[in-house]
Structure 1
Amino acid sequence: MARAPRNRPHFHVEGGGQAEPYTSPRLVITGLPPARVRAAHAQKLERAVGAAVAEARRKLAARDDAVAEGEKGFYLEFEIPAAERAAVEGLENRPAAIELVAVRPVDIGDETVTATVFVPERSAEFFSRKITAYRDENTKTGRPKNEALVARIEDIRLAVVRSLFTDDLALFPRAGQPAWWEVWIRDGRIEAFRHVAQRLNVALKDHAISFPERDVVLALATEEVMARLVENTDAIAELRLAKDTPTLFLEMRPVEQADWAGDLVDRVDGPGALAPAVCILDSGANRAHPLIEPGLEAADQHAYDDSWGVGDSAFWNGHGTSMAGVALYGDLEAALSHGDDVELRHRLETVKILPPVGQNDPELYGAITELGVGKAEAYAPRRRRVFCLAVTSEVGLGRGRPSSWSAAIDQLCYGGGDRRRLMVLAAGNLRGDIEVDAYLDRNDLEEVESPAQAWNPLVVGAYTDKIAIAHPDYAGWEPVAPAGDLSPASRTSGIWERQWPIRPDVVFEGGNFAHDGANPASAIDDLQLITTHYRPHMRLFETFGDTSAAAALGSNLAAGVLAARPELWPETVRGLLVHSAEWTPAMRARFDAAGTQVQKMAMLRRYGWGVPDLNRAVWSATDDATLMVEDVLLPFRRDGSAIKTRNMNLHQLPWPRDELLALGDQDVELRMTLSYFVEPNPGERGWTRRHRYASHSLRFAVKRSLESLQQFRQRINRAAEAEEEGQIGVAAGGDDWVLGPIRDRGSIHSDIWRGSAAALADRDAIGVFPVSGWWKEKPGLQRWDRPARYALLVSVRAPGANIDIYTPIANQLVIPIPAA
């Protein structure tokens, strides 16, 4: 039976959620610490902390007052069993001004975790007193005093530069070797750090990135000079290696189809004055190309460094111009081959963030990205836009842990809470030869590149439908990827730790590779996209592929949604792309073969939510109606000195109940997507409860058909309590959801419920509720009273039912029904 046409706009509901008081209980840490011989353990730690403090006092006495700034103090490094890593929070003590500054990431097989704290000189005896009380005193229940902390400490030592280094130790600079360091500065101390660095003749980069508790700068120093910086200031919280200039996977071959360009130019209708833009952060673009010129004004080209110019360069193989062609037209093959007019409903902007030639000194690419975004916005401050970034780095990846660059991207999207931004990032590509026998295994093992660890942007991977090889030079060759499966160069988040987001979110066409059975695979022209060449006087078209092309297609589609619905929030547009995504038959077959939640998660981290579609993102049908809800809740409140959860929102949406009941046992679908942005708080401090990365998290739950509203509320509270105890996804468990507990990662959650229409008829309430984040756990930062806004997308689908579920919803909302 033919499906109903998509010719009706989605319903837009602003607000409508009923705020209800709601509290999830505070987490109480349970479980006994490791068994210890009390006196012997105390003696061991007393000797260790005594030696560390004595050495610290010697160094403080020798400190050069003409160089030093800030409160006198020192750093202690603690070893804690990896199984007890949550205990690192107990090392921090606000009244004593002791701050947990760095926790080294734990690798698989590590038995201990190392945590470093800053101790002011006035609190030098703090830990000695804790240990003495553990040795000599009991609580009212007869347990050793301070046992929960002291019994979980394996060792204590005076920290050194390596103690503050949270990247892979294999990256740590050799002795005497100058290196650029990312220096993570404690709150409010950046100027003091700059002064000390100047006195020690340490070169600093001009730009810094600022987060709620940290500023990040780049410093050129040897390990020995960095040690002097650590000893002469209380400013340093953490050290990482500054990352090299990002590299790009650019295996592009020319195509010979320039004869068609003139015909297409004649059919192009340029964008209107109010059209939204795709702003490409890349290597610039050549506006002289006849197909780029209609969509890119000269005034909309910018550069991070004005001396670079705004044009593209051979050094980057014209990557920015290739991105521009796909972002403006999609795959040019379709536009070139049909004879219809091409209406450009969005324009281009370009910001050159890569130097014209060579690789400069390492830079804070988070700061460069911020400045690039600022230049585009300063010129056209009221324009709606989607930012597109396909520049990635493979240096210093950490199984999903944020980098300074990815955190800066999250901060740009969050925009201080009042200026949100929509960004599309590439997941990054495999490098080197593509071996046919390693297809998918290598993709699953090589993780998404920086800055795509970010939570708030839409991260795009690549799939492919390109399998037809026609060129006689490649007779007998075979495509690597089957139609509808992952593009051979696309990276995934298969090896990421479970608390980090699903990456990619979605996938777009990225081309395919082919092989002759004997040699590594190649990206041949037949299996790539067609785009614009950066030297139009030599040739007009170029082949293009991988996640760069996929990200450009993603930004093209996002701009299409902005053009159709300019009133929507960035969170909503991002949500619509995920909500409209579907797995291809090849992907669905792999999901169907996944027998466990672990196997399903592996597939989700490979393909995301599938391939988006502009029609599904913008238009409903009579048998497939979508409601777009944009609302706000206040997640937290102050209660004395404590911060507690405040409100959940209960949505009782217009529901086609009678129509669903009439369908009885016929199968239907409910698709739900929740999209929101978080405020980041990076810094490698163990990612424990108090030091979470995200400001807050939200979850959705749907009332079950035999559940009262009161029972529904109680279930939500139980789910929130379980989340506080680390049981992710309890609210989504069971009940015929396709993904269930594995959907709740990052800041976008999407799932599909399948069942009978009669059962869906009574699922007429949706709860959106908060779970904890650093806004709640860190009251001193005064963020607890911030509102959290979100987009909730709800689709009711009755494919093949020959019933109108759109009109009953429209009647309840008093919305005119478009003519068929």
Structure 2
Amino acid sequence: MVESIEAVHLAAVEALWTDSTPLPTDDESIWWEIWIRGEGEALVDTLKSAARVAGFSLSNERLYFPERTVVTANCTKRQISRSLRFVNSVAELRHAKVTAADFLDLSPRDQYQLTSDMLARVSMSDSPTAAACILDTGVTQGHPLLAPALKPSDCQSVREEWGSNDPHGHGTEMVGLSLYGNLVDVLATSGPIQLEHCLESVKIYNENDPNPPHLYGEVTIRGVQLAEQAAPHRHRAIGMAVTASDEEKGQPSTWSAAIDSLTSGYHDDKRRLLLISAGNTPDAHWHEHPSSCQSSSVQDPGQSWNALTVGASTQFASLPVERYPDWLLVASKGDVSPFSRTSSNWQRPWPLKPEIVVEGGNCAIDPVDGKGRTVDELSLLTTYRTPTVRAFSLSAMTSAATALAVRYAAILQARYPDFWPETIRALLVHSAEWTDAMKKHFLPLNTREQKEKLLRYCGYGNPDFTRACWSATNHLTLVAQDSFQPYKKEESTYKTKAINYHNLPWPTAVLRDLRGTLVKLRVTLSYFIEPNPARRGWKGRYRYASHALRFEVQTPTETKEEFKRRVNSAAREEEEDENQGYQGDAADWELGPQLRHLGSIHSDWWEGTAAELANRNMIAVYPVVGWWRERHHLGRWNKQARYSLVVTIQTPSEEVDIYTPVQIQISSKVSVEIPIDGD
């Protein structure tokens, strides 16, 4: 009898469900919108009593509409059904659109309860192999949400007298995001939480005792070294949102060069993955988006060639009208966030920055003065520096975006421990795509100039973490990690030495069967350069980088021998001044050789028929001039240059299996080094 009554009430929940999303399972906890017939606090009190009996509580917020009152609650379908036994005023049920404000408005006691419930779902490895390492204002190690992943020994400071704690709060906010992501997404679900990486914090900034500018590079290096000394065998994705107000407009600074030196392993041959925020636009100009983003240059040291510079985008595009009447969103959904700086006012040959944009929140225009204002509902939720006061805090802007990107990178390192830092950087860029909201500012995208404007506005777009992690049957990703010696000495002359050719094990039979079906090929080449930031006394204009690499792909009509002759010729042509005039194979490539070869990470994609792709089965990686060769007296001309190459093909139909045929072939050798003829 009891079971039959419960079934009736569960069926009643299904009848009241009007949301477009699927109804949750019986014991899945979500946030509900409960729409009550009528208006008045008495109706809410009746439902509150029923909820208490059923084992949940209502939030304090109320919305009033004609003949309707809306409240929210976090509970299961079964609990909702039990409450319906005592009330008959519920008109409909929906999945609540939860925001950071909903959790921040909770009492400290309710926040603590949510934290306890969440911790009961958390599990992680006893010996994680990867860490999200945040260089910032320190951290509150004792925060209950951070303690499972953050040992006291992994909390350090570049100056002992500062201590590793976080009176400012910014570091604790970043650390929380780098572990869980936006806590709204975690708290709004009830499933298990498997943590794949741990945390590290190094305090490099104290607003009451700031470092002198000439030490910024040294402080950054010291911070990384402290983390490495504490756990020398751990992989780490290092995140830093501390930037200087200087706008170098792409030119290397002492700080950015120090980061390039650190990441390239110039002194110790150890490569490192470092993610840096692009910096935030002035708040007085937020309402002028997107022009305010385009006029605000990426801040120092975000121009670093080797660091992955992170800007902010936003998917937050909903404001509660009753709380913000007549307010307008500044950025549309999917666009670059109003807070994000760009390299729109940089000139070639400086890199395209930021390379990716990640969620950093939005703002809204206050109707009183027409200025942009931060809004709780348009921010992310993270950990607060004083958990005895409250558990949660808001976060936004490029700091939040950088912390989320660090989380993605650390998870990739945990899942793929054999991947180099260059490879993790490549996977994040390789998975990124522009949204329509980003592209609309630069339409039509039919010239190189317009595409470069888009690239300098938002890099390669939003990374797709799922796509960065997995190959699917119709979405195949190949990764090659390789190295070669780019230069050689012949008598008294120093020249380009060799080209690496990678044979691609395409499922040729499958592709030819697809014939005219459109497919997409994407290639990303990632490597770290060694810097030489001197601005005077050089022969040639662009000798900051130790070396530069290029890639070319065999065209559908070329034989392998013809392709090798073309690449060989291209390499010879680029012997001097990085050959700004070389066009390569630009046919049907989105960016083309001239645009994709800025900086030290190069990504481009081609669309054509499956039959054409079947004949594109070789990629060449070759070097062009750099200071290793030009300043050969420094003794680094014979160094090895290593790189990561990521290649993806994608077909429109999930029914087409391109993965299995490649898996069968993948054990064969796919790379061979060929000397350059004519040297």
Same fold (TM over 0.5): yes
Q: 1:725 to 1:375 in 2, by over 3 A?
A: closer
Match of 2:582 in 1: 730
> What is residue 572 of structure 1 aligned with on the other side?
423
Partner of 2:274: 423
Amino acid at match of 2:586: G
The answer for the alignment partner of 1:151 in structure 2 is: none
Equivalent residue for 1:440, pick from 285, 290, 310:
290
Q: Does 1:283 align with 2:137?
A: yes
Question: Is the 2:541–2:577 Cα contact (8 Å) retained in structure 1?
Answer: no
> Structure 2: how far apart are the matches of 1:372 and 1:477?
43
Distance 1:729 1:301 in 2: 50
> 2:639 matched to which residue of 1?
786
Q: CA deviation at 1:732?
A: 4.6
Corresponding residue number in structure 2 for 1:205: none
One of 652, 662, 667 as aligned partner of 1:809: 662
Q: What's the counterpart of residue 765 of structure 1?
A: 618
Farther-moved stretch of structure 1 (458-467 vs 409-418): 409-418
Match of 1:301 in 2: 155
Report the TM-score when normalising by structure 2: 0.80
Residue matched to 2:300? 450
CA contact (8 A) 1:685 1:691 kept: no
Q: TM-score with structure 1 length normalisation?
A: 0.66
Q: What code does the residue aligned with 2:637 have?
A: W
Specify the code of the residue in structure 2 equivalent to 1:728: Q
Letter aligned with residue 546 of structure 2: S
Higher relative contact order (CA 8 A, sep 6+): 1
Q: How many angstroms apart in 1 are the aligned matches of 2:584 and 2:272?
A: 29
Distance 1:435 1:651, change over 3 A: closer
User: Structure 1 residue 502: deviation in Å?
Assistant: 0.6
Task: Check the 8 A contact 2:486/2:496 in 1, yes or no.
Answer: yes
Pair 1:363–1:489, CA change in 2 (3 A):
same
2-side partners of 1:774 and 1:338: how far apart? 53
Cα-Cα RMSD: 1.9
Counterpart Cα distance in 2 of 1:406 and 1:453: 6
Distance 1:688 1:254 in 2: 59
The 5 A counterparts of 1:649-668 are 649-668=500-519
Larger mean CA deviation between 734-743 and 269-278 belongs to 269-278
1:731 Cα deviation from its structure 2 partner: 5.0
How many residues are matched? 559
Corresponding residue of 2:609: 756
Structure 1 residue 379 corresponds to structure 2 residue 230: yes
Question: What is the aligned partner in structure 1 of residue 600 from structure 2?
Answer: 747
What letter is aligned with 1:303?
Answer: S
For the 8 Å contact 2:433–2:462, the answer to whether it is kept is: yes
Deviation at 1:370, TM superposition (A): 0.8
In the TM superposition, what is the alpha-carbon distance from 1:537 to its structure 2 partner? 1.5
**Structure 2 counterparts to residues 528-677 of structure 1, below 5 A:** 528-590=379-441, 593-677=444-528
Aligned with 2:372: secondary structure?
A: coil
Separation of aligned partners in 2, 1:254 and 1:469: 16
* Native 8 Å contact 2:476 2:649 kept in 1: yes
Q: 1:346 aligns with which of 187, 197, 205?
A: 197
1:649 counterpart letter in structure 2: N
Q: Does 1:266 align with 2:120?
A: yes
Whether the 8 Å contact between 2:480 and 2:645 is mirrored in structure 1 is: yes
1:761 Cα deviation (Å)?
0.5
1:715 to 544, 566, 579: 566
Q: Secondary structure at the match of 2:519?
A: strand
* Equivalent pair of 2:578/2:624 in contact (CA under 8 Å): no
The structure 1 residue matched to 2:245, chosen from 383, 389, 394, is: 394
Structure 1 residues 448-506: Cα deviation after superposition (integer angstroms, max 9, x where no partner): 00111101111100000101112733122111000000100100001112101110010
Amino acid of the residue matched to residue 588 of structure 2? Answer: D
Q: How far apart are residue 363 of structure 1 and its match?
A: 4.2
Secondary structure class of the residue paired with 1:486: coil
Q: CA deviation at 1:686?
A: 7.2
8 Å Cα contact 1:471-1:526 kept in structure 2: no
In the TM superposition, what is the alpha-carbon distance from 1:718 to its structure 2 partner?
Answer: 3.6
Q: What is the Cα deviation at residue 548 of structure 1?
A: 0.3
- Counterpart of 2:176 in structure 1 is 325
Q: What is residue 123 of structure 1 aligned with on the other side?
A: none
* CA deviation vs aligned residue, 1:121-141 (integer Å, no higher than 9, x gap): xxxxxxxxxxxxxxxxxxxxx
State the AA in 2 paired with 1:560: I
- 1:254·1:543 contact (CA, 8 Å) conserved in 2? no
Question: Residues 356, 302 of structure 1: CA spacing in aligned structure 2 closer, same or farther, 3 A cutoff?
Answer: farther
Look up the SS of the partner of 1:593 in the other structure: coil
Deviation at 1:255, TM superposition (A): 2.6
- Mapped to 1, the partners of 2:387 and 2:443 lie a distance apart of 47
Measure, in 2, the Cα distance between the counterparts of 1:777 and 1:700: 22
Equivalent in 776, 800, 803 of residue 629 of structure 2: 776
- What is the CA–CA distance in structure 2 between the aligned matches of 1:425 and 1:729, rounded to whole Å? 32
Q: Of 102, 105, 109, which aligns to 1:256?
A: 105
Call closer, same or farther: CA 1:499–1:282 in 2, change over 3 Å: same
Equivalent residue, structure 1, for 2:345: 495
Could you tell me how far 1:810 is from its partner in structure 2? 0.7
Separation of aligned partners in 1, 2:329 and 2:588:
37
Structure 1: distance between partners of 2:214 and 2:547 = 30
Q: CA deviation at 1:341?
A: 1.6
Deviation at 1:652, TM superposition (A): 1.0
Q: CA deviation at 1:270?
A: 3.3
Distance 1:554 1:360, change over 3 A: closer
d(CA) in 2 for partners of 1:346, 1:623: 29
Q: Match for 2:602: what amino acid?
A: H
Q: Closer, same or farther in 2 for the Cα pair 1:701/1:691, shift >3 Å?
A: closer
Structure 2 CA distance, aligned partners of 1:286 and 1:464?
28
Distance in 1 (CA, whole Å) between partners of 2:506 and 2:184 is 43
Q: Is the alpha carbon distance of 1:607 and 1:593 closer, same or farther for their aligned partners in structure 2, counting shifts above 3 Å? A: same
Whole-Å Cα distance in 2 between the matches of residues 639 and 722 of structure 1? 18
Map Cα deviations across residues 411-430 of structure 1 (whole Å, 9 max, x no partner): 11101373110111101101
In structure 2, give the amino acid aligned to 1:270.
Answer: M
Structure 1: runs of 5+ lacking an equivalent? 1-251, 816-820
Q: CA deviation at 1:335?
A: 0.7
Shift of the 435–453 alpha-carbon distance from structure 1 to 2, 3 Å rule, reads closer
- Measured in 2, the distance between the counterparts of 1:479 and 1:263 equals 34
- Aligned runs of 1:63-462 on 2, under 5 Å? 255-257=104-106, 258=108, 259=110, 260-314=114-168, 318-355=169-206, 357-395=208-246, 397-416=247-266, 418-436=269-287, 438-462=288-312
Q: Report if the CA contact (8 A) 1:743-1:751 is conserved.
A: yes
Query: Separation in 2 of the partners of 1:690 and 1:498?
Result: 11
% same residue: 44
The alpha-carbon deviation at position 729 of structure 1 amounts to 7.4
Quick one: structure 1 residues 735 and 380, their matched pair in 2 at CA, closer, same or farther if it must change by over 3 Å?
same
Distance in 2 between the 1:685 and 1:254 partners?
Answer: 55
Counterpart of 1:506 in structure 2 is 356
Per the TM alignment, residue 516 of structure 1 is displaced from its structure 2 partner at its CA by: 3.1
Tell me how far apart the structure 2 counterparts of residues 383 and 746 of structure 1 sit (CA, whole Å).
Answer: 28
Q: 1:660 to 1:591 in 2, by over 3 A?
A: farther
- Which residue identity does 2:378 align to in structure 1? L
